[in-house]
């Protein structure tokens, strides 16, 4: 590749043979590659390394590719992060759902690596669309959240959050002054909503508040309802 900056590709695929094949081919083509085999790990790596492209298998252990796609799109719109889904042969539903949820492209297994590389290049070489409708910065008093840099500052101090805590904070700040139920938070932050998972929200909220320190009271607990970020 002749770009000045090497693009980063995250390969999320639980089949080791396919993952290795992709890693070799993308590395040989000049990309910086990272491989992982499950959905939760993919989200952690994506938050940390900010890849330019995610190759995302749909059938994954823990969190499947569609759920991963939903979560990734909440923080990184199309044009900022490219996502190519790997779907099983003839799985029309996955394909349609993937594109509706914001995948840039899809490739049906078994696929030609050469074709996948070409599609990746086409997407990555596209001019970047500026997303002006979405603010890239959320602020409240001394707290500022930079959505592009994935960074939270409290005054001059950077607070280090996990990907989940970060999304939770962003979601609450976006709905400042409005109540968000645990179910709403589950579905928008985790991308799914199952009965009995409400405690997951509380657990992450507790850690988020600990890290906010005395600013924790910006987030109010609404008994029997959920949470609200103060106006």
**Exposure of 132 by Cβ count < 10 A (0-12 exposed, 13-18 middle, 19+ buried)?**
exposed
- Looking at residue 37, the DSSP 8-state letter turns out to be S
**Which of 21, 59, 101, 173 touches Mn ion by CB under 5 A?**
59
Query: Which one, 78 or 109, has the nearer CB to Mn ion?
Result: 109
The yes or no reply on residue 104 touching Mn ion (CB under 5 A) is no
Q: If binding means CB under 5 A, how many residues of this protein chain bind Mn ion?
A: 3
Query: Which one, 58 or 75, has the nearer CB to Mn ion?
Result: 58
User: Taking the complex as a whole, how short is the minimal distance between the CB of residue 25 and Mn ion, in angstroms?
Assistant: 18
Paired tokens of 170: 């962003």
User: Taking the complex as a whole, how short is the minimal distance between the CB of residue 117 and Mn ion, in angstroms?
Assistant: 20
Q: How far is CA 41 from CA 62, 65, 214, in A?
A: 9, 12, 31
Nearest one of 144, 171, 148 to 156, comparing CA atoms? 144
The yes or no reply on residue 14 touching Mn ion (CB under 5 A) is yes
Query: Which one, 37 or 79, has the nearer CB to Mn ion?
Result: 37
**Which of 34, 57, 104, 165 touches Mn ion by CB under 5 A?**
57
Distance CA 182, CA 201 (A): 6
**Site for Mn ion, rule CB under 5 A:** 14, 57, 59
């Amino acid at each position: 590749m002749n770009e000045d900056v090497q693009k980063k590709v995250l390969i999320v695929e639980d089949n080791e043979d396919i993952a290795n094949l992709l890693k070799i081919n993308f590395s040989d083509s000049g990309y910086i590659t990272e491989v992982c085999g499950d959905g939760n790990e993919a989200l952690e790596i994506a938050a940390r390394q900010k890849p330019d492209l995610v190759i995302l298998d749909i059938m994954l252990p823990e969190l499947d590719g569609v759920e991963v796609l939903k979560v990734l799109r909440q923080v990184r719109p199309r044009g900022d992060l490219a996502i190519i889904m790997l779907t099983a042969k003839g799985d029309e539903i996955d394909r349609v759902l993937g594109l509706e949820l914001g995948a840039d492209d899809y490739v049906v297994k078994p696929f030609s690596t050469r074709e996948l590389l070409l599609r990746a290049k086409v997407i990555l070489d596209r001019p970047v669309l500026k997303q002006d409708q979405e603010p890239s910065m959320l602020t409240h008093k001394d707290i500022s959240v930079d959505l592009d840099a994935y960074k939270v500052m409290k005054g001059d101090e950077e607070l280090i959050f996990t990907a989940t805590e970060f999304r939770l904070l962003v979601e609450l700040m976006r709905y400042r002054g409005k109540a968000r139920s645990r179910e709403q938070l589950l579905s928008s932050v985790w991308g799914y909503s199952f009965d009995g998972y409400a405690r997951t929200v509380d657990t992450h909220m507790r850690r988020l508040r600990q890290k906010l320190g005395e600013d924790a009271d910006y987030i109010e607990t609404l008994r029997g309802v959920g949470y609200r970020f103060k106006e």
